[in-house]
Amino acid sequence: MQDFINQALLQAKKSPMVAQYGAVLVHRNRIISKGYNTYKTPISTLNKHCVL
C-alpha cells in the first residue's frame, strides 16, 4: 500500500499547479493507470492572450 502512495506522490510532483495532486488506479494489487492535475489550456496560450 505504501508503494502506491509513493507512486501517487511522484505523480503529484509532475504537476505544474500550485495545488499538486497525483493519483494511481489500482486493480488486483497492480497499478493500471496514473496521472496528475494540469492546466486545460497551455500556459503559452494564456500568455498570448494577456499580451493582446
Q: pLDDT at residue 47 above 70?
A: no
What pLDDT was estimated at residue 20? 96
Distance separating the N- and C-terminal Cα atoms of the chain: 49
Please state, as a whole number, how many other Cβ atoms lie within 10 Å of the Cβ of residue 47.
Answer: 9
pLDDT of 41 reads 67
How far, in Å, CA of 25 to CA of 33, rounded? 5
The pLDDT value given to residue 49: 55
What are the residue boundaries of the structural domains of the chain, listed by start?
2-51
| Confidence (pTM) | 0.72
Does the pLDDT value for residue 48 go beyond 80? no
Residue range 19-46, pLDDT digits in tens:
999 999 999 999 999 999 998 766 666 5
Residue 20, Cβ density class (10 Å: 0-12 exposed, 13-18 middle, ≥19 buried): middle
